[in-house]
Amino acid sequence: MGWISLIKSYIQLVTVVFSLFVNSIFIFLVVTESPKKLGNYKHLMCYFSFISMVYAILDYIVQPYIHSYRASFSMLMDLKGSAFENNPTVAFFVTASLTGCFASTIYAISINFVFRYFALQREGRLRYFSGKRLYLWISIPFLSGIAWVTNNWFLFSPNPEMTEYLRAEVKELYDLDADKMTYTGCLYWRTDANGNIYLSKKDLIGAFNLMIIMMIPFFTILYFGSKSYSKITKLMSQGESDYSRKLQMQLYKALVAQTLIPMVFLFIPVGIFFTSPLIGVNIEWTSFIITFFYSFYPAVDPIPIIMLIDEYRNAFFNFFRRAMSKNQVVSVVSIDLNYT
């Protein structure tokens, strides 16, 4: 169905443009409008936004088909007519790097939660985010991405059995030529030379590794998120200044929103995507939805912070108000001159 590819390409183009636009505005607001009390949190937010921009660019380059079919899951990249058609190894690395952005993103979120909790504790633990130590924290999302890509390189690379397993299906659904595509993926249940079905240990280990990489930031977010909520509740009842209490609550709401978005767009879909083929649940019908959820994420992620933190929201809307006012002034002057 060529129309699926056409619609997908158009949506992914709009998404990458919107993502780069929103994240650029967000970085500008963080640099120019951040309250002084944010400290090094500004650097973390800019870094987080930078990861989202890389994610969006790679998503547009790969234009992935995230596909689940019976005992398999995969991220497919069409090489036909692309700059990578004669470089499948490079294409695979780019595709694997896009999946690595998922790991980098969820680890960046978890680090934000750790920072916010240390800030709320006010026991001097923010020193762990100062100086050269900040670079250590910043390296964690990068290293998690490398771990994800490495796992896919050695355990989830294209292989003849899985290619044949997908061939008819991807042709029918997406009009893809299996010989002119690359992918990173898993086929849990394979068939031996005697026609017997067996559970592939290599694929199982690969999926288990990715689940472990996912669960570490997931539980970090739950732990530090609940601790932060309890701390904020106590601070609200103590002798805090109105500004401090308001800022802390705004930051926490923004952080919660930034967690719900990846939960909805990434954690839950990817978790289902990984486990369903293993237990024999065919979720092929969700492939189209998951593909778009994966693409939409970097475009919508910074919006909660822009909208929930007063300094950013006011600066954002004031910019457009001033722009509209200038246009109105120009229009009035133009009318006066024409009248004269």
> For all residues of the chain together, what is the average pLDDT?
87
Q: Poorest-confidence range of 87-91, 147-151, 194-198, 242-246?
A: 242-246
Does residue 317 belong to any structural domain of this protein?
A: no
What would the pLDDT profile of 175-188 be if each residue is shown by its tens digit? 899 999 999 999 99
Does residue 329 belong to any structural domain of this protein?
A: no
pLDDT (0 to 100) of residue 289? 84
Residue 297: exposed, middle, or buried by beta-carbon count in 10 A (0-12, 13-18, 19+)?
buried
CA torsion sign, 104 to 44 to 291 to 176? negative
Does residue 334 belong to any structural domain of this protein?
A: no
Tell me how far apart the 2 most distant CA atoms of the chain are, in Å.
93
Q: Which two tokens stand for residue 207?
A: 């999926």
Does residue 325 belong to any structural domain of this protein?
A: no
Give the domain extent around 126: 1-311
Cα dihedral value 80, 78, 185, 266, nearest 10: 170
Looking at the DSSP bridge assignments, the partners of residue 76 are 65, 183
Does residue 8 belong to any structural domain of this protein?
A: yes
What would the pLDDT profile of 224-243 be if each residue is shown by its tens digit? 988 887 887 776 666 566 76
Q: If residue 24 lies in a helix (H) or strand (E), which one and from where to where?
A: helix 2-33
Structural domains of the chain, count: 1
Q: Which two tokens stand for residue 317?
A: 């809307």
Does residue 316 belong to any structural domain of this protein?
A: no
**Integer Cα distance of 101 and 51 in angstroms:** 7
Does residue 260 belong to any structural domain of this protein?
A: yes
What would the pLDDT profile of 252-274 be if each residue is shown by its tens digit? 777 677 678 878 888 888 889 99
Task: Report the CATH number that the domain containing residue 32 is assigned in CATH.
Answer: 1.20.1070.10
